[in-house]
């Protein structure tokens, strides 16, 4: 044991007792290779066997430790054979349900015997129950005591049991206790004192092995100071890595564009409307950013319909006037096509070349466009991800604009920058998102960017009227379509499905299309979905835009950016299946002109409480920022921003929702640390992010 105490925490886990190759491979799957990694393999929950819950106060959805006398035990033959055991403790009763059980198990559960069990309580068909709880028979004459402390439960992996992990972590904790332990406290004393946080060592010991007098409630809710301290350090490490990255990026040179004196005035003159104040402000900020040799990295957030495209166009003009190329990237083909049409409309009268590049171009067209990008400038090219494939070489890319993109992480942003590098110059970057991002997420996922918010809609916009209606009233809704179309207005009908499968989505949309076109004689109906050929989609969209199609049945492909101002009714089927931000996006397809528009959220009844709340939130508000906050609270950050790639860090202890209030402080502290404690910064980043933030080779 003395030898163990002298272990360096940096030693490989194989130095621990009983860790051979097979085990170290399993540990590696959990990201554990050094002894220290075990210490940072933190419990994700605790089992509380320190007290028994009276059955009368059990709550569905919660874990509980209970003890009771068996009242009845029997095998039930139904769709599935199961062993049912009813226990009670005088305050209430509980049903235990086992689908797998041995004869011996069944026999031991005799009426009158005492049983103690631990598990999650759920609402069963007739009463509260536990399915496959951990249980033990108890002898009435020597009832065992309860446990003295909470038991930590760790993220595990196949073939590696909790008990085994616990023992290994015990060894690591033992090594930690020795004075020779080289686990450094990386937070400066004054910060720990200011924030009243325990030391790292105390915090780790506490969360792994809470003492008997621990505040159980706080621990179970992940709000204990020891947990907070770790969350704090983790969030700080992420913040530091982003701020450091930001500092690095700002060191890069970008071309400096003077204010556009010719093209911008000409463009504004031909524009059929005046810019809103918010558009002017955003454009002025962007213009200033680009008139600087430091790379612009700016995120523009604006609610649907706030007019971000014009802002993008103005930014482009400044680069064009300086004889540079501009690349505009959209997340979907459909949007790219729409932007292409817009920009051609706006820019060709100004004699600016506008090109198009997506994965679905014909080979000859593609080759021609690629040649242009390699040879000519200035120009604007609009496309999808295809813009940044290997075969694409820009001659002199000065500005990259990413539109409607909330699914873009740090890595992709950096890859884009690298792609546009020209000698030692990097293009400026403008990122536009129509899904307002909750503040907490901007502070974490987008801390490397500067931010601008377009907080004003063009004048004469009327708020969309939203109603929540059961699909049992489908007939009424269909009648409404007829009315709207008679008034020369247009309608969207969006079909949704839970299944990811695009095929199924398209099938459903096709069925709906068939039914609706049969029912609605006087209405010209169109169908658009993801499996259609590009040209087909384009034709349908063009016809809808030109008013030749009255009712457009669609899958969620039309979600972002599609702009048909004459459309005034949006119907979304099975709205309860979509996220709030996505629904808000879809709703934003109407109310784009100056006509009063409506959105009908159809749901499959019966509607659960939570679902009802969500749809209500949407009915009551047209404010994308408010809705984004709600969405975050209801679904969590991963869902709101998309996938892991969205740049939301994978957090081990911290939780963006719960710990959001820490973020402003952490941002400040990160700045102090970068300035005053640069040696600690590297170590902190490495401790929590390992090498995952190594951007040198993107
Ligand atoms: P989003 O911010 O959702 O991308 P768009 O750029 O597509 O919004 O603009 C939505 C609609 O508003 C377009 O039809 C656009 O021409 C129009 N628009 C943009 N700015 C203004 C403005 N200042 N005044 C009136 N209409 C505007
Ligand atoms: Mg847009």
Residues 336 and 376 in one domain: yes
pLDDT in tens, 431-469: 998 777 777 777 777 777 888 999 888 887 788 999 999
Residues 171 and 30 in one domain: yes
Dist. CA 629 → ligand 1 center (Å): 24
Dist. CA 270 → ligand 1 center (Å): 15
Q: What's the rounded mean pLDDT across residues 29-44?
A: 88
**Residue numbers of the domain that contains 212:** 186-253+661-698
Residues 384 and 449 in one domain: yes
Gyration radius of the chain's alpha carbons = 30
Residues 284 and 412 in one domain: yes
Residues 355 and 447 in one domain: yes
Q: Give the ligand at the shortest distance from the Cα of 302.
A: 1
Residue 147 lies in a domain: no
In whole angstroms, what is the distance from residue 137 CA to residue 69 CA? 10
Q: What is the end-to-end Cα distance of the chain in Å, rounded?
A: 45
For 350, which DSSP code? G
Dist. CA 561 → ligand 2 center (Å): 4
Pick from 278, 305, 435 the residue to mutate for probing ligand 1's pocket: most ligand atoms within 8 Å of its CB: 305
pLDDT in tens, 586-617: 898 898 877 899 999 999 888 888 888 889 98
Residue 653 lies in a domain: no
In whole angstroms, what is the distance from residue 41 CA to residue 208 CA? 9
Of all protein residues, the one whose alpha carbon is nearest to atom 19 of ligand 1 is 307
Residue 17 lies in a domain: yes
Dist. CA 455 → ligand 1 center (Å): 13
pLDDT in tens, 467-478: 999 989 999 999
Dist. CA 27 → ligand 2 center (Å): 46
Q: Give the ligand at the shortest distance from the Cα of 454.
A: 1
On the question of pLDDT at 179 being above 60, the answer is no
List all residues whose CB is within 6 A of at least one atom of ligand 1. Answer: 273-276, 279, 302, 304-310, 434, 458, 561, 563, 565, 592
pLDDT of residue 646: 45
Residue 498 lies in a domain: yes
Residue 643 lies in a domain: no
Q: What is the pTM of this model?
A: 0.72
The last residue of one of the domains, among 621, 645, 679, is 621
The last residue of one of the domains, among 183, 217, 243, is 183
Ranges of H-type helices in 462-569: 474-486, 502-519, 534-545
Of all protein residues, the one whose alpha carbon is nearest to atom 23 of ligand 1 is 275
Of all protein residues, the one whose alpha carbon is nearest to atom 10 of ligand 1 is 305
Range of weakest confidence among 297-306, 312-321, 407-416, 513-522: 407-416
Pick from 272, 279, 300, 307 the residue to mutate for probing ligand 1's pocket: most ligand atoms within 8 Å of its CB: 307
Residues 179 and 191 in one domain: no
Dist. CA 509 → ligand 2 center (Å): 25
> Is pLDDT larger for residue 250 or for residue 71?
71
- The values of phi and psi at residue 119, to 5°, are 180, -175
In whole angstroms, what is the distance from residue 255 CA to residue 324 CA? 9
Query: Are β-strands 598-603 and 465-470 bridged in parallel, bridged antiparallel, or unpaired?
Result: parallel
Residues 167 and 20 in one domain: yes
The last residue of one of the domains, among 155, 183, 211, is 183
In whole angstroms, what is the distance from residue 95 CA to residue 111 CA? 13
Residue 648 lies in a domain: no
> Is pLDDT larger for residue 220 or for residue 430?
430
Residues 380 and 313 in one domain: yes
pLDDT of residue 496: 83
């Amino acid at each position: 044991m003395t030898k163990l105490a002298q272990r360096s925490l940096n030693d490989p886990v194989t130095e621990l007792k009983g860790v051979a190759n097979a085990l170290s491979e399993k540990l590696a799957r959990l990201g554990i290779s050094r002894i220290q990694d075990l210490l940072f393999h933190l419990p994700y929950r605790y089992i509380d066997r320190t007290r028994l819950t009276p059955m009368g106060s059990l709550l569905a959805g919660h874990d509980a430790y209970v003890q009771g006398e068996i009242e009845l035990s029997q095998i039930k033959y139904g769709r599935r054979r199961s062993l049912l055991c009813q226990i009670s403790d005088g305050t209430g009763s509980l049903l235990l349900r086992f689908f797998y059980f041995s004869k011996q198990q069944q026999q031991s559960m005799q009426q009158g015997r005492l049983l103690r069990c631990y598990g999650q309580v759920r609402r069963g068909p007739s009463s509260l129950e536990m399915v496959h709880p951990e249980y033990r028979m108890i002898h009435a004459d020597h009832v065992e005591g309860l446990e003295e402390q909470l038991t930590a439960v760790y993220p595990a992996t196949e073939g590696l049991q909790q008990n085994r992990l616990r023992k290994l972590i015990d060894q690591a904790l033992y090594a930690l206790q020795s004075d020779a332990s080289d686990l450094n406290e990386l937070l400066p004393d004054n910060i720990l004192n200011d924030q009243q946080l325990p030391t790292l060592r105390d915090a780790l010991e506490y969360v792994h092995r809470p003492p008997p007098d621990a505040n159980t409630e706080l621990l179970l809710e992940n709000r204990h100071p020891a947990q907070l301290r770790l969350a704090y350090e983790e969030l700080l490490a992420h913040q530091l890595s982003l701020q450091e990255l930001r500092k690095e990026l700002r060191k890069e040179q970008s071309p400096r564009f003077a204010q556009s004196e010719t093209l911008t005035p000409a463009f504004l003159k031909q524009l059929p409307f005046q810019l809103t104040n918010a558009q002017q402000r955003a454009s002025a900020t962007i213009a200033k950013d680009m008139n600087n040799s430091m790379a612009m990295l700016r995120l523009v957030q604006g609610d649907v319909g706030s007019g971000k495209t014009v802002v993008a166009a103005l930014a482009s003009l400044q680069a064009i006037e300086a004889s540079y190329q501009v690349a505009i990237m959209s997340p979907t083909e459909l949007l790219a096509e729409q932007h292409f049409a817009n920009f051609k409309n706006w820019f060709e009268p100004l004699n600016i070349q506008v090109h198009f590049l997506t994965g679905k171009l014909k080979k000859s067209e593609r080759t021609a466009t690629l040649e242009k990008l390699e040879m000519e400038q200035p120009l604007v090219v609009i496309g999808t991800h295809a813009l940044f494939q290997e075969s694409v070489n820009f001659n002199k890319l000065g500005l990259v604009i990413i539109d409607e993109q909330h699914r873009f992480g740090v890595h992709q942003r950096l890859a884009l920058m690298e792609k546009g590098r020209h000698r030692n110059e990097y293009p400026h970057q403008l990122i536009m998102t129509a899904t307002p991002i909750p503040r907490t997420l901007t502070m974490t996922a987008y801390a490397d960017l500067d931010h601008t918010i377009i907080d004003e809609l063009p004048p004469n916009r009327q708020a969309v009227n939203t109603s929540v209606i059961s699909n049992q009233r489908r007939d009424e809704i269909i009648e409404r379509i007829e009315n709207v179309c008679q008034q020369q207005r247009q309608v969207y009908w969006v079909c949704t499905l839970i299944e990811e499968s695009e095929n199924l989505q398209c099938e459903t949309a096709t069925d709906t299309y068939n039914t609706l076109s049969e029912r609605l004689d006087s209405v010209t109906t169109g169908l658009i979905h993801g499996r259609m050929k590009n040209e087909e989609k384009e034709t349908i969209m063009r016809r809808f835009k030109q008013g030749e199609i009255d009712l457009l049945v669609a899958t969620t492909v039309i979600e972002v950016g599609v702009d048909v101002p004459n459309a005034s009714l949006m119907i979304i089927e099975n709205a309860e299946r979509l996220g709030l931000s996505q629904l808000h996006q879809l709703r934003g397809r109407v109310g784009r002109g100056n006509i009063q528009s409506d959105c009908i959220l159809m749901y499959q009844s019966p509607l659960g409480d939570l679902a009802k709340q969500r749809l209500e939130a949407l009915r009551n508000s047209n404010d994308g920022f408010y809705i984004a906050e709600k969405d975050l609270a209801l679904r969590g950050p991963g869902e709101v921003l998309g996938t892991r790639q969205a740049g939301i860090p994978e957090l081990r202890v911290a939780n963006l929702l719960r710990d959001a209030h820490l973020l402003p402080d952490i941002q400040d502290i990160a700045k102090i640390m970068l300035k005053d404690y640069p040696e600690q910064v590297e170590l902190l980043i490495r401790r929590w992010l390992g090498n995952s933030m190594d951007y040198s080779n993107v």
